Each structure stands twice: as structure tokens, then as C-alpha cells.
Amino acid sequence: MTTTNASGADLFGQRTRTLLDELEASGQYKHLQMIESPMGPSIDIRGVGTVDCFCSNNYLGLANHPEVVEAGIEGLRKWGGGTASVRFICGTFTAHEQLEQQISSFLGTEAAYTFVSCWTATEALFPTVCDPGDVIVSDELNHACIIDAMRLTTAIKKGVNKAVYRHSDMDHCREVLAQARQTAGTNGVIWLVTDGVFSMEGDLGNLPGLRKLCDEFGAMLVVDDSHGTGVMGETGRGTHEYWGMDPSQIDIFTGTLGKALGGGAGGYLAGTRSAMEMIVQRARPTLFSNALPCTVAASAAKAIEIVAREPERVAKLRSNTEKAREGIRKSGFEVLESPTAICPIIVHDTAKAIAMSKRLLELGSFAIGFGFPVVPEGEARIRVQISAAHEDAHLDRLCRNLVTLKSEY
């Protein structure tokens, strides 16, 4: 008897249609906005018009800075598209060498190594540095790239363990570390990983508290400072600077070039020279995937140069953020308090958050509504992100629009 197999294309087509219909029916389908201008404090959205942008991570206004743009063009002229190969086979352009030196000297580490994204950097890190017997300990609200890197590590390296502590709960973290130490014994390494700034809450990882716990349990501290670099601390070095910590107190930094530092793309690891050497020798994304395009590397290097040269941008971001937070409070909305440029306005209900962000867009301020499952049920929010590029007029318009919104909801 012969059986007829259903066609893969039919099965996949059906599966896809079911998912897309479900997403549309539950209001979770993501409709991408088409932007017809460069990223800036105001942008042109197809079918909407010019609106003030409060949902980009363009914290320092460098995404369309003339020097950053020019450096990218010059990078393309000088080095072309890329090596058309991975770095260990064909070599490294001096654009990457220079960028990595700039990242390490900006952060205060011995060395740095770049990737096409922070996502890739994080997935390069843990499977490479962890050995069987090690334990990765993670805050429950860490970014998805950390969660996936942990899943990848434990799947491909048998004997690596993971454990999660309640968000920023130092007592629970201590309990989890004590358990991790038992699991790791005397030969296993514990890797404690936290976001520097948590992207949905806008709050800070308690780096001094975590460092203390790491010292007590002999653990390594890894900080993803994607939303902290260029933003936190007097000179924008990051969350460790905000807390008054020496960079040597963070064992490994992970970060992105796709937010404050130029906004194009790219990520990095930074730490000791030997740790970076290990990444070069062993990390699979390093060995089997191309480098960051030179044009992006050159733009990011210029962005870092500008941040170091113009700390007043960081100060402007800080004062803009204080002004925005005050205006949001005055409009009657509840904003999660923190010193970061991420201001989540809690509206609780997912459908309401989405409807309110749509209305806010009509009024001329672009800020995205996040609901379940991105944030826990009942904690839906509109996330407002502030930039040094915003002027008083943008912030005043936002606050006026929030007053209108509050009167309608």
C-alpha cells in the first residue's frame, strides 16, 4: 500500500496562515511602519506624515550625525564592502582593529572584539567560555539574546547548567549563587549575567550588589550594557560608571553599536586580552561568519570618538530625560522611575496600550505600546525613549499629547 505524503509547501503554508491569522485576530500582528527619512528627533512615516520619534534607541542623536554618515561613506570608499570572507581566513581590516581599540579604550578594558550584532556577540560568548560543570546565573528579565545564548550553550555543551533569579532580587540571587556554587563544585565557573539597563523596565542592574555577590561566590560578572553605553554615567561610559565602579570590576561587557553608538548595527565583547583571544580562537560566529561591514565599523568608530569628545551630549540626554519624566508625571500617567532614558508609561491593558500608542501617533508622537507576552499580563505599557537630539519643542509636544491622551482614556 502506498501512502501519499502531504507536500511540505502545503503543510508549511497552512501552518503559516494559521499563525498569521491568530496574530491578526488577537491584535498581536506587527505592522511595520515605513520610514521615509533618516532617524532623528522627528521622522517621516509613510501614510502618517512627520512625527516626533520616541521609540528609537538613538540616545545621543548620532544615527544621522554628519560626521558619522561621512565616516561610513569614507569607510566604504577605503575598504569596499568587506573581505568577502571570515576574519581568521582572510584577515582583519584596519577599520575593525581601530574600532576595537576605540571600544576597549572607551570602556576601559584590555581588549574588545566586534560582531555583526550584540545578539551574535552574546551567542559567541557563552558557548565558548563555558565548560561542563559551569553554571550560568541570569536575571529573569535579561534580554532575549542572553536567554537564547544560555539555551544554545546548555544544548550544545552537555554539563553546563543554568539558573535564574527573580528580577534584581539580591537575596534570591544570593540563594541561586549558593546553589550554583554547590553544583559547580570547586572546578566549575559561575557566570552571573545581567543587563546594565533593562530595556522594558528602564531600571538598572544593581552592579555593585552583584559584584559583591560574585566576589563572595567566586563568580564572573558579565554585563550587557546595550542600553547603558553612551547613556549612563557622567561621560556615558555606561552603567558601571553610573555606579562609580572601575571597569575592571566587570569581567566581560557585551554591547551594541546599534543604539547610542551610531545606531547602524554591530555588537562587541570587551574584557581581558586573554578572554578576547579565546573568542578569536574558538567562538563559532567568529570562525564561521563575516565581520561587521567596514562602512558600519567606520561610522561606529566616529560615533565613539564624538561621545568621548562631547560629553555634553550625555548631559543633554540626562536633562531631556528629567524634563520628559516630569511632564509625563504631570500629565497624570504612571511612569516607572529610574535614571535611564527609557520611560515606560504603565497602562496595564494590552489592547489599551496598543490603541493609545496609535492615538499618540495621530497626535504626532511616535512611541510603541508593548503588551503581553512581551511584558507580563497586566503590565502593558507605552515605552517612551528620550534622545539628546530632542529639543524642548519635541518634549513639550509629547507632554501636551499625553495630556490629550489622558483626557480620552
Ligand X SMILES: Cc1ncc(COP(=O)(O)O)c(C=O)c1O
**Interface residue list for ligand X (CB under 6 A):** 117-119, 143, 145, 195, 199, 224, 226-227, 256, 258, 267
Provide, rounded to whole angstroms, the least separation between the CB of residue 227 and ligand X. 6
Q: Which of 65, 96, 143, 259 is catalytic?
A: 259
Q: Which of 138, 168, 199, 387 is catalytic?
A: 199
Displacement of CA 214 from its chain's centroid (Å): 23
Query: Which CB atom, from 145 or from 190, has the smaller least distance to ligand X?
Result: 145
CA angle, residues 128, 270, 120, in degrees to nearest 5: 50
Provide, rounded to whole angstroms, the least separation between the CB of residue 342 and ligand X. 10
Q: Which of 162, 227, 240, 302 is catalytic?
A: 227
Provide, rounded to whole angstroms, the least separation between the CB of residue 190 and ligand X. 21
Does residue 259 carry a catalytic annotation?
yes
Provide, rounded to whole angstroms, the least separation between the CB of residue 359 and ligand X. 25
Q: What is the DSSP string of 240-299?
A: HHHTT--GGGSSEEEEESSSSS-SS--EEEEE-HHHHHHHHHH-HHHHHSPPPPHHHHHH
Question: CA-to-CA distance for 99 and 299, rounded, in angstroms?
Answer: 9
Contacts 24+ apart (CB under 8 A), 404-408: 404/363, 405/331, 405/356, 405/359, 405/360, 405/363, 406/331, 406/332, 406/333, 408/359
Q: Count, in order, helices (H) and strands (E) of the chain.
A: 15, 14
Provide, rounded to whole angstroms, the least separation between the CB of residue 385 and ligand X. 11
Provide, rounded to whole angstroms, the least separation between the CB of residue 195 and ligand X. 5
Query: Which CB atom, from 114 or from 331, has the smaller least distance to ligand X?
Result: 114
Give the three cell numbers for residue 148: 537564547
Query: Which CB atom, from 52 or from 195, has the smaller least distance to ligand X?
Result: 195
Report how far apart, in Å, the C-alpha atoms of 257 and of each of 86, 118, 126, 264 are: 20, 8, 20, 7
Provide, rounded to whole angstroms, the least separation between the CB of residue 59 and ligand X. 12
- In the chain, what is the straight-line distance between the N-terminal and C-terminal CA atoms, in Å? 64
Does residue 365 carry a catalytic annotation?
no
Residue 299's nearest CA partner among 67, 40, 39 is 67
- State whether residue 380 is helix, strand or coil: strand
Question: CA-to-CA distance for 236 and 326, rounded, in angstroms?
Answer: 22
Give the three cell numbers for residue 233: 554615567
Listed in order, strand segments (DSSP E) in 326-364 are 334-335, 342-348
Does residue 104 carry a catalytic annotation?
no
Query: Which CB atom, from 144 or from 156, has the smaller least distance to ligand X?
Result: 144
Q: What are phi and psi of 202, to 5 degrees?
A: 75, 10
Query: Which CB atom, from 143 or from 381, has the smaller least distance to ligand X?
Result: 143
Query: Which CB atom, from 59 or from 333, has the smaller least distance to ligand X?
Result: 59
Provide, rounded to whole angstroms, the least separation between the CB of residue 202 and ligand X. 11
Contacts 24+ apart (CB under 8 A), 399-404: 399/324, 399/327, 399/328, 399/330, 399/331, 401/360, 401/363, 401/364, 401/365, 402/327, 402/328, 402/331, 402/333, 402/345, 402/360, 402/365, 403/331, 403/332, 404/363
Active site residues: 199, 227, 259
